[in-house]
Amino acid sequence: MIRMTFLISLFLAASLMASADEKEVKYEEDIIIQEPECLQLMTVGRGSGSDYVIKFYNSCPKRIWASICVEERPGKFKLHESSTRIPKYGYMDIYTYEGTAPVSVNWISGSSRPFRPPGQCGTDVEK
């Protein structure tokens, strides 16, 4: 029940962020912080097996790079970077550590290789 509530709140947060005019959106105690150019969080849910899938959507008519910082467990961060540019109007999926719902997601995107997203993925990160 708690996981379902968490997933619903993430989905609602993604909907709110897609329509927000602000550069930074905070939702429910910093669960998600986004500074969007083109990349939008679509869903968080279970994939095949016990992994969680975080799906992003490129809403711009250009190909982009992405750097995404996922807090997989409290205090445990992992940096995910796109190996190729995400196609225009295309998707990027990230899989988290087995069986753990992400605590927070933070990202940055752009037409050139982006810097690391703001937050804990700056230096001490498992890649």
What digits encode the pLDDT tens for the residues 65-92? 888 888 888 888 889 888 889 999 999 9
**DSSP states of 40-68 as a string?**
EEEEEEE-STT-EEEEEEE-SSS-BEEEE
User: Domain residues of the chain, as ranges?
Assistant: 2-110
Secondary structure (3-state) at 6: helix
Assign a CATH topology to domain 2-110.
Answer: Immunoglobulin-like (2.60.40)
Q: Which of 12-16, 45-49, 84-88, 96-100 has the lowest mean pLDDT?
A: 12-16
For residue 56, the model assigns a pLDDT of 93
Strand duo 25-27 + 52-58: pairing = unpaired
Model pLDDT, residue 36: 57
Q: Does position 20 have pLDDT exceeding 90, yes or no?
A: no
Nearest to 98 by CA among 76, 113, 83: 76
Q: What percent of the chain has pLDDT over 90?
A: 9
